[in-house]
Amino acid sequence: MSFQDREKAFEDKFKHDSELQFKVEVRRNKLLGLWAAELLGLKGEEADAYAREVVASDFEEAGDNDVVRKVMGDLQAKAVDLSEHRLRKKMEELTAIAKQQVMTE
- In the chain the domains, ranked by start, together with CATH numbers, are 3-103 (1.10.790.20)
The answer to whether residues 31 and 94 touch, using CB atoms and an 8 Å cutoff, is yes
pLDDT digits (tens, 9 = 90+) for 11-45: 888 888 889 999 999 999 999 999 999 999 999 99
Which helix (H) or strand (E) segment is 33 a member of?
helix 3-39
The phi and psi torsions of 75 (rounded to 5 degrees) equal: -65, -40
Distances, alpha carbon 40 to alpha carbons 26, 36, 52, 79, 104, in Å:
21, 6, 15, 9, 30
Which residues are within 8 A (CB) of 31 and not within 5 positions of it... i.e. 6 or more apart?
A: 51, 94, 97, 98
Q: Mean pLDDT across the chain, nearest whole number?
A: 93
Predicted TM-score (pTM) of the model is 0.86
